Structure 1
Amino acid sequence: MSSERIPLAGVIGSPIAHSRSPKIHNHWLRTHGLKGHYIPMDVVADDLEQVLRNLPKAGFVGVNITIPHKEKVLEIADLVTDRATLIGAANTLIFRKDGKIHADNTDGYGFIKNLQSAGVDWDARRGPAAVLGAGGASRAVIASLLDAGVPEILLSNRTRVRADALAQEFGKRVRVFDWVQAGNMMDYAATVVNTTSLGMIGNAPLRVPLDGLQKGAVVTDIVYAPLETKLLETAREMGCHTVDGLGMLLHQAVPGFERWFGLRPEVDSATRAAALR
């Protein structure tokens, strides 16, 4: 009998039943004939550190972290990458053989990769990017857009103070607009990103005026339920290039899977289909 342990990974959040990550990772494990399992785990904040410290003893090689724990894990991790520090959140943990927890953030990588591989001829340097929202996802998006070469970020959030705080952190390339003026950002934007949950199934609609959208602009929504949000539908009708949010989820999963299971998977039509099942 082999004493080799089967590598385990998973996603931790609360709630977690809605997560599509198990479908994605288990699809890759099956497709490549790899030994391993990826499971959803509902863990409350008070138990988070104890659970994370004990998982490696059960054969876990790492986990994804989602809402509401992405900020808290930075306090627990022993090593944190520069990009996770910059974003102020982690979504990918690697349990090292020396017992240390290594925290990274692959959300920005997934966001940019989604734009680059969606067939819309996206170029970061083409012009300013309008970003709606100033939460955790927005931080990852802004950091990755600036890193990719976007000349300016036009930022608006329902609570202006949060947008102002991000502008202070990221510097002069971020310009803040009041939420009631958010529609004005569209006049200048080559890229438009909704990082809020507005427009998601079960949430309030996104009510930002879109009549200023530039024909040929690339418009993306990190919401993927529904796949085509009202923002994307309107943008498409106005002659914009649209990119749905599912690709960001798929691409952010790639680096973690590679670290845990030793193979870099492809994001293809079969991966998308598996995530939507």
Structure 2
Amino acid sequence: MDSFAVFGNPIKHSKSAEIYALFAHEIGISKKYNLKLAVQDNFNYLLHNFFNLGGLGANITSPFKENAYFLCNQLTERAEKARSVNTIKKLKNGTLLGDNTDGIGFISDLKRINWLDNNNQITSHEHEDEEPITNILLIGAGGAAKGILPILLTTITTCHINIVNRTFSRAQELTSYYQEIGYKNISCLPLHKLRYDTNKYSLIINATTSNIHNTIPKIPYFLITPDTKCYDLFYTKQDTLFITWCKKNGSNYCSDGLGMLVGQAAHSFFLWHNTFPTIDPVINHLRSVFYM
């Protein structure tokens, strides 16, 4: 019987089972973790059946994170704010606790690669007397963006986040939600109007699925400078298309989302087992055996 599993579609490419096995080996835990392919019509049934048959914890990946939000009996504060769940734990009373570890995994990775300092500010390679406000461009308004927004807004307190999305109404909806719950340092802009944007962005985050479709977000090249940090939540064996494009346009600081993947998995593992595993050896292992 599977004690843990990840649900998604597609799911064959998922590294979650391998990551869990490496964490479990380090801690000395022997539990079975498997991949579960679902579709919209059977996701709810498969998830509840998994827990009814003895499942202890589940990871949820695209495109079911928002579905999972509504299937949990309790939610952590970060899941509540994100309105999206990527980790579920079955509590001793049989109820399901929903969490979202994407954001804390993302922040952990920014610290790991030294893009975030001890004061939770984006590290600067320019003049220290510049404006304290850090502009962040978030491309995408789907589940991935929802997962990282709450912790970005609460951790990097001097930032201003500008959201762009292919469907502008989704960016507007996301912006309005956070403004209504008290965050004023967030705005949105139609994608085509970025060409007139005069903001200087310290961090640009690709939270779209453009890589899956072999495309890149249509943002102006002049937003990229040598000091612009460009982070793609997606990851591949080589540089993602987005990272390749950012490097071509001059960025000296680029990272894919493998570190975030392992980071969020570590926080999921901690929720389930109350023990935090070591992250770096797992990232290094995955890099060495990448088979995407």
Task: Tell me, yes or no, if structure 1 residue 130 matches structure 2 residue 137.
Answer: yes
Instruction: Go from structure 1 to structure 2 and tell me whether the alpha carbon gap of 1:181 and 1:269 turns closer, same or farther (over 3 Å shift).
Output: farther
Instruction: Go from structure 1 to structure 2 and tell me whether the alpha carbon gap of 1:215 and 1:274 turns closer, same or farther (over 3 Å shift).
Output: closer
Distance (Å, rounded) in 2 between the aligned partners of 1:272 and 1:59: 33
Letter in 1 for 2:190: D
Distance (Å, rounded) in 2 between the aligned partners of 1:228 and 1:182: 25
Which residue number in structure 2 is paired with residue 258 of structure 1? 270
Percent identity, aligned pairs only, is 27
Aligned to 2:154, what secondary structure does the other structure show? helix
Distance (Å, rounded) in 2 between the aligned partners of 1:131 and 1:178: 12
Aligned to 2:285, what secondary structure does the other structure show? helix
Letter in 2 for 1:110: G
Deviation at 1:154, TM superposition (A): 1.4
Name the stretch that deviates more: 21-30 or 256-265: 256-265
CA RMSD of aligned residues (A): 2.4
Which residue number in structure 1 is paired with residue 147 of structure 2? 140
TM-score, normalisation: structure 2: 0.83
Query: Aligned match of 2:204 in 187, 192, 205?
Result: 192
Task: Tell me, yes or no, if structure 1 residue 30 matches structure 2 residue 37.
Answer: no
Deviation at 1:210, TM superposition (A): 2.0
Which residue number in structure 1 is paired with residue 189 of structure 2? 177
Distance (Å, rounded) in 2 between the aligned partners of 1:117 and 1:161: 34
Task: Tell me, yes or no, if structure 1 residue 52 matches structure 2 residue 47.
Answer: yes
Contact 1:151 1:173 in 2 (8 A): yes
Question: What are the Cα deviations for residues 186-218 of structure 1, in whole angstroms up to 9, with x where unaligned?
Answer: 8411111111112x1543233322223233232
Contact 2:105 2:267 in 1 (8 A): no
Query: Aligned match of 1:10 in 5, 22, 38?
Result: 5
Distance (Å, rounded) in 2 between the aligned partners of 1:26 and 1:184: 48
Instruction: Go from structure 1 to structure 2 and tell me whether the alpha carbon gap of 1:121 and 1:240 turns closer, same or farther (over 3 Å shift).
Output: farther
Structure 2, unaligned stretches of length 5 or more? 123-131
Deviation at 1:226, TM superposition (A): 5.0
Distance (Å, rounded) in 2 between the aligned partners of 1:76 and 1:245: 27
State how 1:158-237 maps to structure 2 within 5 Å.
Answer: 158-171=166-179, 172-183=184-195, 185=197, 187-198=199-210, 200-236=211-247
Contact 1:190 1:217 in 2 (8 A): yes
TM-score, normalisation: structure 1: 0.88
Task: Tell me, yes or no, if structure 1 residue 76 matches structure 2 residue 76.
Answer: no
Aligned to 1:138, what secondary structure does the other structure show? helix
Name the stretch that deviates more: 109-118 or 219-228: 219-228
Equivalenced residues, count: 271
Contact 2:164 2:191 in 1 (8 A): yes
Distance (Å, rounded) in 2 between the aligned partners of 1:226 and 1:193: 19
Task: Tell me, yes or no, if structure 1 residue 89 matches structure 2 residue 87.
Answer: no
Deviation at 1:41, TM superposition (A): 1.0
